[in-house]
């Protein structure tokens, strides 16, 4: 449904009879009630958003040909859709994750199908088995080591805080600052002691809190068992699923080329960045392990994850990795960490990025930095991860809209000359 024109809305209000105006006002009230029930659900046990939306739709049905009524229905439908997605997010997350995984793996299945004449269901099954096998291997081999290093790092951080507390109690520098009235030693030591005690109490219950946040064990097992099945069918029927999803988007000049173009940009970016991040994390972790740097696996994992954030991510990974090496190893370990990450960045910029990310994002570096800051401000770490592909999609949509507007202006100019 295309949004109603502003002039049509104004004319619909001027030309509508009294009873239609009353119905439109009632629809507007229902839209406000929908917003209220979405914002304060605890105050309306009966007036839930679906009930309000249905009542508003029935109220506006007699005047559904009116442009203002269509605008109210469209606004209410968008709000109800957002509410439904938010309420069913825990159910949608596995499906969205599987579709994203199928989106990244589709070129492999397509190549096996077209180049080697492998039936699509066979190639989908093979790819699904390989992905599940890699996931289980990572869980069995890597996850225990990560958990052990996280636990050891947490306890060493608490030990360092206790050492800092003892230093504060005996340091002559702190005594001079206290004598000058800059700080209060007793207050500082008491607050630091309370913080250490709180963190010590939290450590044993960290695993239980994680399990409680993801739900019951049976529910987790059920979801994990369903993911391979969903992935197989999504890969097998990916072209039809993709076409159905593309058909949901509005057209620009009668076409949906901008969706295909944006999908290609995002797909290339995610595939390439995933491969580069994996290579970066493995290289850094292996090199640090060979040099005997403590927490080598955590630093490698940190570098791999932060590598998803272009330009800013490697800098943050270098700073955090250097701090971990300096605090829990020594200055030599910190130098080794910085040297290894710098060497990895040199390899990435000179070899990996030109070979793997052979596409052109078409985004200016200043726009990329602005997108990172803006998305990070509104959405945190998740915003940093999606900033570049989301900006690419928005830029592609804007270009499609601009081309459609140019065509409409040209047609309007030709009509005026006639």
Q: Which of 22, 57, 87 is the last residue of a domain?
A: 87
Among 79-83, 341-345, 366-370, the least confident range: 366-370
Same domain, 120 and 131: yes
Q: Are residues 140 and 45 in the same domain?
A: no
Structure confidence at residue 126 (pLDDT): 92
| pLDDT for the residue numbered 127 | 92
User: pLDDT at residue 18 above 70?
Assistant: no
Does residue 37 share a domain with residue 186? no
Indicate whether 136 and 236 sit together in one domain: yes
Q: Which of 68, 87, 106 lies at the terminal end of a domain, its last residue?
A: 87
pLDDT digits (tens, 9 = 90+) for 178-203: 777 767 777 777 776 776 666 555 54
Same domain, 75 and 115: no
- Helix (H) / strand (E) element for 42: namely none
Cα four-point dihedral sign 42, 43, 48, 53: negative
What pLDDT digit, counting tens, does each position of 236-292 carry? Answer: 999 898 888 877 776 666 666 667 777 777 777 778 888 888 999 999 999 999 999
Q: Are residues 53 and 128 in the same domain?
A: no
Assess whether 163 and 178 both reside in one domain: yes
- For residue 72, being part of any structural domain is answered with yes
pLDDT at position 369, please? 74
Domain co-membership, 139 together with 80: no
Residue 65 resides in a domain: yes
Q: Which of 207, 226, 248 is the last residue of a domain?
A: 248
Q: What is the CA radius of gyration of the chain?
A: 28
Q: Highest-confidence range of 30-34, 44-48, 143-147, 252-256, by mean pLDDT?
A: 143-147
More confident residue, 124 or 382: 124
- The mean pLDDT of 81-105, rounded to a whole number, is 82
pLDDT digit string, tens, across residues 148-179: 887 888 778 777 777 777 777 777 777 777 77
Helices (H) and strands (E) counted in the chain, each on its own, are: 18, 0
Whose CA is closest to 109, among 248, 242, 305, 225? 242
Residue 55's domain comprises 6-87
The pLDDT score that the predictor gives to residue 1 is: 46
Q: Give the residue, 38 or 65, on which the prediction is more confident.
A: 65
Percent of the chain with pLDDT over 90: 11
| CA distance readout (Å), 201 to 98, 195, 197, 204 | 37, 10, 6, 7
CB 256 within 8 A of CB 263: no
Residue 123 and residue 68 share a domain:
no
Mean pLDDT over residues 79-91, rounded? Answer: 80
Average the pLDDT over 61-71 and give the result.
80
Closest CA relative to residue 318, chosen from 339, 292, 333: 339
Domain count, the chain: 2
Tell me the per-residue pLDDT of 52-64, one tens digit each, with 9 for 90 and over: 788 888 878 887 7
pLDDT of residue 213: 45
What is the pLDDT confidence band of residue 207, given thresholds at 50, 70 and 90? Answer: very low
| Amino acid 412: pLDDT | 44
- Is residue 241 in some structural domain? yes
Do residues 404 and 253 make contact, with C-beta atoms less than 8 angstroms apart?
yes
């Amino acid at each position: 449904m295309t949004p109603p024109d502003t002039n049509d809305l104004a004319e619909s209000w001027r030309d509508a009879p009294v009873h239609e105006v009353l119905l439109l006002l009632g629809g507007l009230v229902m839209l406000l009630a929908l917003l209220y029930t979405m914002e304060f659900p605890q105050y309306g046990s009966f007036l839930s958003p679906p009930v309000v939306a249905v009542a508003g739709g029935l109220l506006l049905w007699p005047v559904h040909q009116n442009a203002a009524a269509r605008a109210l229905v469209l606004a209410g439908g968008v709000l109800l859709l957002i509410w439904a997605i938010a309420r069913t997010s825990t159910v949608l997350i596995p499906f969205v994750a599987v579709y994203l995984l199928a989106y990244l793996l589709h070129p492999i299945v397509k190549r096996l199908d077209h180049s080697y004449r492998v039936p699509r269901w066979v190639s989908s099954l093979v790819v699904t088995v390989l992905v599940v096998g890699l996931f289980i291997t990572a869980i069995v081999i890597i996850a225990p080591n990560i958990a052990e290093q996280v636990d050891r790092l947490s306890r060493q951080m608490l030990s360092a805080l206790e050492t800092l507390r003892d230093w504060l109690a005996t340091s002559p520098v702190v005594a001079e600052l206290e004598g000058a009235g800059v700080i209060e030693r007793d207050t500082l030591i008491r607050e630091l002691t309370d913080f250490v005690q709180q963190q010590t109490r939290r450590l044993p219950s960290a695993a239980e809190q994680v399990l409680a946040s993801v739900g019951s064990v049976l529910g987790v097992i059920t979801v994990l068992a369903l993911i391979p099945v969903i992935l197989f069918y999504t890969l097998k029927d990916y072209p039809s699923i993709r076409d159905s999803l593309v058909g949901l988007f509005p057209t620009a000049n009668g076409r949906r080329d901008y969706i295909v173009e944006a999908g290609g940009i995002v797909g290339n970016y995610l595939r390439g960045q995933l491969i580069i991040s994996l290579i970066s994390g493995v290289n850094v972790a292996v090199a640090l392990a060979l040099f005997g740097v403590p927490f080598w696996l955590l630093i490698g994992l940190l570098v791999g994850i932060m590598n998803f954030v272009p330009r800013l991510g490697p800098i943050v990974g270098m700073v955090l990795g250097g701090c971990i090496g300096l605090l829990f190893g020594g200055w030599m370990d910190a130098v080794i960490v910085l040297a290894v990450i710098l060497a990895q960045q040199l390899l990435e910029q000179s070899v990996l990025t030109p070979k793997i990310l052979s596409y052109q994002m078409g985004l200016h570096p200043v726009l990329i930095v602005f997108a990172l800051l803006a998305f990070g401000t509104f959405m945190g770490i998740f915003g940093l991860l999606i900033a570049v592909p989301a900006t690419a999609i928005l830029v592609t949509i804007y270009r499609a809209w601009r081309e459609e507007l140019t065509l409409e202006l040209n047609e309007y100019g030709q009509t005026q000359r006639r």
